[in-house]
A and B are shown apart, each in its own frame.
Chain A
Amino acid sequence: MSEMKVVNPISRTLTAVPEALRNLWTHRGLIRNFTSRDISQRYRNSIIGYFWTILEPLLLSAVYYFLFTIISGNPEERYPLWIILGVVTWQFFSRGLNESVNCLTGNKNMIRQIYFPREVFAVSKVLAQLIVTCMSLFVAVPFLMYLDISLTSQIIYVPIALLLVTLQVLGVGWFFAVPNVHHGDIAHMTRFITRAGFFVSPVMWTISMAKGGRAELLDYLFLNPMVLPLELMRSGFDGTEVPVPSWAVAWCLSFTFGMLILGLTVFKKTEAKVVKRL
């Protein structure tokens, strides 16, 4: 004799986040399989395979470097390193956000045929992007050697930066995943965020370069939650001080965790009802 339970009930508001985390833990095997499928499939038909993860940011950075040298003459010695770290980090952000916003629409066939907690999709997709990003980071090694930079204990900033981007991408992605089922507008908006964000985030430039501009505008810039991870990446590798004021660090952290909790709660509350619109 066993108790009757409602099949996959919709979470209560306050227990949504712990429930989702527990689901993710019990489905870790599934997440691992999805992630490794995504990674091994990505370069399946290419000749140089995984080498693309390094080559692509390298080529992009070369283009930006060329462009920037035309515009502003002689850049600093470390500029190539900064730009390549910026490009790798930004690619993680834009691809991860795209994947997590589309976590329901992109898996509609599977969602309609079998039930498992749907938060698994976004996590496995973003994890795959994270692993690819970590592999791309080896591109920094020749630059570090050429510039004669030895790693300091500040290298700990790098995993912190990657964690921040991961959580931001998941939080924002979960928040918009359900609206994205209703409206195509969300996809346009995400594309705009990742394209415009590229320019207002320190990807092609750095905060220290921007210090010469108008100081009162710089404060607005720190409202961009991607500033901290991008600058942490650079300081992590070259050992310089992080050029972000403490209020901006606090803002970025509260945005990241606030958005994660909000996004996951909204997702858990609404995803069940939106399945029939898929």
Chain B
Amino acid sequence: MSDHSIVMENIELSFPRHRVGLKSIFRWMQRRMGKDASIDPFVALKDVNIKVKKGEILGIIGKNGSGKSTLLRVMSGIYQPDEGKAMASGPVNLLSNVRIGFNGNLSGRENAYLYGSILGHSRQTMDSLMQSIIEFAELEAFIDQPLRTYSSGMQARLGLSVASAVQPEILLIDEVLAVGDEGFKERSRERIKSMVQDAATVVIVSHNLNYQKQVCDRMLLMEDGRVVSEGTPDEVIAVYRERMKR
């Protein structure tokens, strides 16, 4: 029993730099003979311990390549950690790319159904949500046209509209806040804000510090795959700015 939604214990994840093949047999033999022939893997996450309380909004910041997105992928089960355990109290929804599975030859409606089922929604759910999805994406006139005739902004609108149609319990967001033109951007920010407020637990990765400051209860700073700072948004952002100067 716990009042946490996500618990990550001693997570370690590294990406191999070499392929398994004949050479790896030679390297293994060389190592047996006492030579150092191993190729160091790229360590993406190391000693990561995170506990997210139920109802908490956690922000993660850090430079490019510091392991933020990888961390979300471990949380959502895409990557299995090499060491440690990633645990959650329920299904975890990752919102990263809002155009997953999109296919140019299918109509907007068909793509919406497909994306919905990828997100785990049943056909009945999608049937009942379809009208509001189309309205929110402002695509009434185009919804039965093939997706290849859409502009990239229209595609992104459709994707975000589907992705945000159902309120998940545990939500992970990876930099999807800025799509479409100014008008839609504003509405999508509102939509995500309301998702964030309604979801039991949220983890947000973003470079938009002002946004993070507004919504987050707590923040983490990541550097080279480790959590280097943790605390209130003001504290962590101050540390981040300090470190960026160096």
Our verdict on whether A and B bind, yes or no, reads yes
Chain A residues within 8 Å of B, Cβ to Cβ: 1-8, 10, 29-30, 33-34, 37, 40-41, 44-45, 109-116, 182-183, 272-273, 275-277
Known contacts A2-B90, A10-B80, A183-B21; is-contact A114 B106 (Cβ 8 Å):
no
The stretch of B113-121, B186-194, B203-211 in contact with A is: B113-121
Q: Can you name 13 extra interface pairs (CB under 8 A) apart from A4-B2, A29-B122, A37-B110?
A: A3-B89, A7-B86, A33-B114, A34-B114, A37-B114, A40-B105, A113-B78, A113-B97, A114-B78, A115-B94, A182-B20, A276-B13, A277-B15
Chain B residues with CB under 8 Å of A8's CB are 77, 80
5 A-B pairs with the lowest CB-CB distances in the bound complex, closest first: A8-B77, A7-B77, A272-B80, A4-B87, A30-B117
Q: What is the bound-complex CA distance between A111 and B88, given in angstroms?
A: 20
Nearest-Cβ distance from residue A272 to partner chain B, whole angstroms: 4
Chain B residues with CB under 8 Å of A30's CB are 117-118, 120
Known contacts A6-B87, A113-B100; is-contact A275 B79 (Cβ 8 Å):
yes
Question: Which listed residue, B89, B96, B114, touches A4 by the CB 8 Å rule?
Answer: B89
- Is B76 close to A, CB under 8 A? yes
Asked if A5 and B88 sit within 8 Å, CB to CB, the answer is yes
Q: What is the bound-complex CA distance between A111 and B86, given in angstroms?
A: 18
Asked if B118 and A116 sit within 8 Å, CB to CB, the answer is yes
- Is B92 close to A, CB under 8 A? yes
Closest to A44 in B: B105
Chain A residues with CB under 8 Å of B90's CB are 2
List 28 A-B residue pairs with CB atoms under 8 Å apart, sorted by A's residue number: A2-B89, A2-B90, A3-B1, A4-B87, A4-B89, A5-B88, A7-B75, A7-B77, A7-B88, A8-B80, A29-B122, A33-B113, A33-B114, A33-B117, A37-B103, A40-B105, A45-B105, A110-B101, A111-B78, A112-B73, A112-B78, A114-B100, A115-B77, A182-B21, A275-B79, A276-B79, A277-B15, A277-B16
Asked if B7 and A4 sit within 8 Å, CB to CB, the answer is yes
B interface SS class: loop
Cross-chain pair count, CB within 8 angstroms: 93
- Is B123 close to A, CB under 8 A? yes
Q: What is the bound-complex CA distance between A188 and B15, given in angstroms?
A: 26
Q: What is the bound-complex CA distance between A275 and B79, given in angstroms?
A: 6
Q: What is the bound-complex CA distance between A111 and B85, given in angstroms?
A: 21
Q: What is the bound-complex CA distance between A277 and B92, given in angstroms?
A: 23
Asked if B80 and A273 sit within 8 Å, CB to CB, the answer is yes
Chain B residues with CB under 8 Å of A10's CB are 80
The B1-45 residues at the A interface (CB cut-off 8 A) are: 1-4, 7, 13, 15-16, 19-21
Chain A residues with CB under 8 Å of B15's CB are 276-277
Nearest-Cβ distance from residue A35 to partner chain B, whole angstroms: 11
Question: Which listed residue, B4, B73, B85, B106, touches A40 by the CB 8 Å rule?
Answer: B106
